[in-house]
Amino acid sequence: MVNTSAVVMEKSELGNLIARLWAEGYTVVGPTLAQGAIVFDELRTADQLPIGWTDEQEPGSYRLKRRDDGAYFGYAVGPHSWKKYLFPARLTLFSIERTADSFAVHQGSTDVPRYAFLGVRSCDLHAIAVQDRTFLHGPYVDPHYERRRERAFIIAVQCGTAASTCFCASMNTGPRATQGFDLALTELPEAFVVEVGSERGGALLVGLNVRAANGEIEAAHQVTETTKRQMTRTLDTSDMPALLYENLDHARWDDVAGRCLSCTNCTMVCPTCFCHSVDEVPDLLGERSERVRQWDSCFNPELSHVAGGSTRPDIRARYRQWLTHKLASWIDQFGVSGCVGCGRCITWCPVGIDLTEEVAAIRGSDRA
């Protein structure tokens, strides 16, 4: 159900909300058009949003299309996820400098932006919660993630359209966002219904032009109900993790290995994948060295390269590692599935490999 502390905000007021966040010291980031896709970048004004645009997504294909209305959020998730801000693709952890008789260590910058994420979908709220378990709730806390995460202000958007690749309903991660946000917007034809999810969310609304909601609450509820009915893709998780563990030698792994490019795209766009490599980058003069952390992937043969060779020497081993980790051993490791059903890996796989199909094929001829 929709939060009863919901209010109604005119669409034209969204610009003021963005301005207010900037005024309070937030760096506002959210969806905008670039390079033929809806990506995340800094937003100074509401008209930088992809107003009147939508996306058509299929396995291995993404196309922007015009909508026949002026919807602000009439599209599904794009190639970027919020991990680009919380878990940056490249980060200098620290540097070491030679001194006269020893060396000095300089910490990487701790001066990180206070982000306000505008337009976080339900699947992505769940994805952030999944990464929280990895970076914050295990035996070791990642200070870089923690610093960014604890300061982030989250404005969710309730999904009004699903892409053909979405399957959050199967993963119990959407389409309705129920927690983990400061504010949540539902877009109606004429206005936004704004749910308040935290005290600071409520505080931000003070002074903005909003009014009490009446019939709009039911209308907002219907938005996500309709989206849920639109969703065509499904993933049956009833027998996970056992299904994959019992089929480690299934012929389907050879089949998918014939198609998979081991290109890493699926892991890069996945909002929960956290693999990274840490390298020492010395300068030419031997005076300084930086320790750099970068996104990496189980599809990169180098990631599993240890003394003597690679532990996952071929594409079959790498694809199987990815899928079994994502859907099965993640549950053993973190208590939740590593997949939130956002569909990004399906759309952004250059050859359109669809994990829901791979799982269905394995299930279809279980222990073949």
Kindly state the smallest distance separating residue 309's Cβ from other proteins, in Å.
12
Question: Is residue 62 at the binding interface for other proteins, with CB under 8 A as the rule?
Answer: yes
C-alpha–C-alpha distance, residues 310 and 245, integer Å: 22
Closer residue to other proteins, CB minimum distance, 44 or 259: 259
Question: What would the 3-class secondary structure string for 188-213 be?
Answer: CCCEEEEEECCHHHHHHHCCCCEEEC
Total residues binding other proteins (CB under 8 A): 47
C-alpha–C-alpha distance, residues 322 and 332, integer Å: 15
Judged by CB under 8 A, the chain residues 219 through 248 that form the site for other proteins are none
For residue 251, what are the contacts with CB-CB under 8 A and spacing of at least 6?
A: 365, 368
Kindly state the smallest distance separating residue 361's Cβ from other proteins, in Å.
17
Q: Which stretch binds other proteins (CB under 8 A): 23-31, 35-43, 44-52, 170-178?
A: 35-43
For ligand SF4, the binding residues (CB under 6 A) are: 260-266, 269-272, 299, 326, 339-345, 349-351, 353, 355
Closer residue to ligand SF4, CB minimum distance, 184 or 349: 349
C-alpha–C-alpha distance, residues 193 and 157, integer Å: 10
Q: Which stretch binds other proteins (CB under 8 A): 28-36, 69-77, 214-222, 223-231?
A: 28-36
Question: Is residue 215 at the binding interface for other proteins, with CB under 8 A as the rule?
Answer: no
Strand locations in 82-179 (E): 90-98, 103-107, 115-120, 153-157
Position among 18, 49, 235, 269 found at the interface with other proteins (CB under 8 A): 269
Per partner kind, with CB cut-offs from 5 to 8 A, the member of ligand SF4, other proteins, none near residue 342 is: ligand SF4
User: 103 phi and psi, to 5 degrees?
Assistant: -145, 160
Helices of type H across the chain: 14-23, 83-86, 122-135, 143-151, 168-171, 199-205, 216-230, 242-245, 252-259, 265-269, 315-324, 330-334, 344-347, 355-364
Question: Is residue 300 at the binding interface for other proteins, with CB under 8 A as the rule?
Answer: yes
Q: Give the helix/strand (H/E) hosting 356.
A: helix 355-364
Q: What is residue 260's three-state secondary structure?
A: coil
Per partner kind, with CB cut-offs from 5 to 8 A, the member of other proteins, ligand SF4, none near residue 343 is: ligand SF4
Closer residue to ligand SF4, CB minimum distance, 158 or 272: 272
In the block, residue with structure tokens 């081991």? 262
Position among 294, 311, 333, 365 found at the interface with other proteins (CB under 8 A): 294
Kindly state the smallest distance separating residue 60's Cβ from other proteins, in Å.
6
Dihedral over alpha carbons 61, 360, 272, 124 (to 10 degrees) = 70
Interface with other proteins (CB under 8 A)? 34-37, 39, 60-63, 79-80, 84, 89-90, 258-265, 268-269, 281-286, 289, 294-297, 299-302, 314-315, 347-352
